[in-house]
Amino acid sequence: MRNTIAILMSAILFACSTPKPEGFILKVKFQPENKYMISTIRGTETTITYSGEKIAMQKIKSMHIKNPSFSAVKTKTDSELETGKTSADGSFTASLTLKKMMSLDGKNEIPEGTVILGKVEGSSIPKFGNVVSGTLSFDQKNLLLQTINSSFEQFSFTEQRLKTGEQFSVDRPLSLPMDGTEIETIVTTTYKLMSIKNNLAQFEITQNYQMTPKRLDNSFSGKGNGKGQLIYDMENFLVTDYSVKTDLEMNKKMDYFEFDLKTTSEFSQTTEIEKK
């Protein structure tokens, strides 16, 4: 009897003394048969300043182009993501409905009630491939799909264990149109784990933009950076809050003039699981 008690006590002491793994495992995973309420804000402010020879400036003025010129776009979208039952291959459907949209100018190019259909497979991130709408054109549907998929893909992280103070980076390609060509851009986003509290992990976000024009010459220069934060719900495997503000500067030299472009962009998204 004494031997049995001694063995049990040794097992308990060993279990208590075994160190628990530090940190947590980061894995974004959407669950089947759930509803997610998503609120997204996108905003962009752009200023373009022209300079150069007098004849070029007169031409720009004759075209009624303001110098400097300013534009601003900002939209807020409330949507609902509903996931279906798990099928035999482990995948399940995902249906995103745009419930409400608001913009600075009051014009909504995407009608409220538009439905975007997709699927969640091995990556655990929804991938959308079809827009249900009787009013949107083919090009509008494709642009909407690109925008929605891009919003979800930024949360497609490699599964990994993280401790407070550790960080990881993700490179994503981006193509920016300019003057009949494209600026190939690599956006490096670094996530640093700042704290873990109440099953919520808070990350600091920093971004760096590396820009290279397809036409290799010295007429273009550009740079960009961004800052923000991410909050991850460890219990529900979900990014509940994501926000980043980005500043871009680009300069393009032409034959008789040049222009400087400065853009400030904001993106923020909150996600909640609807309580059953």
Specify the range with the lowest mean pLDDT, choosing from 26-40, 170-184, 256-270.
Answer: 170-184
Residues 50 and 57 sit within 8 Å (Cβ to Cβ): yes
Annotate 42-92 with DSSP letters as a single string.
Answer: EEEEEEEEEEE-HHHHHHHHHTT--SSEEEEEEEEEEEEEEE----TTS-E
Residue 130, strand partner residues = 117
Give the whole-angstrom CA distance, residue 48 versus residue 6: 79
pLDDT digits (tens, 9 = 90+) for 174-224: 887 776 678 889 999 999 999 999 999 999 999 999 988 877 667 888 999
Statement: residue 30 has pLDDT above 90:
yes
The per-residue pLDDT for 217 is: 67
Give the whole-angstrom CA distance, residue 191 versus residue 224: 17
Rg (CA), the chain: 25
- Per cent of the chain over pLDDT 90 is 60
Which pLDDT band holds residue 146 (cuts at 50, 70, 90)?
very high
Kindly report the average pLDDT of the chain as a whole number: 87
224 versus 24: the higher-pLDDT residue is 224
Domains along the chain with CATH numbers: 28-273 (2.30.230)
Tokens describing residue 141: 């549907």
Which pLDDT band holds residue 11 (cuts at 50, 70, 90)?
very low
The per-residue pLDDT for 17 is: 44
The per-residue pLDDT for 180 is: 67
Instruction: Determine if residue 134 is left, alpha or beta; phi over 0 gives left, psi from -120 to 50 gives alpha, anything else beta.
Output: alpha
Instruction: Determine if residue 198 is left, alpha or beta; phi over 0 gives left, psi from -120 to 50 gives alpha, anything else beta.
Output: left
Q: Which of 138, 211, 212, 215 is nearest to 180 (CA)?
A: 215
Statement: residue 13 has pLDDT above 50:
no
Residues 107 and 128 sit within 8 Å (Cβ to Cβ): no
> Exposure of 152 by Cβ count < 10 A (0-12 exposed, 13-18 middle, 19+ buried)?
buried
The per-residue pLDDT for 16 is: 47
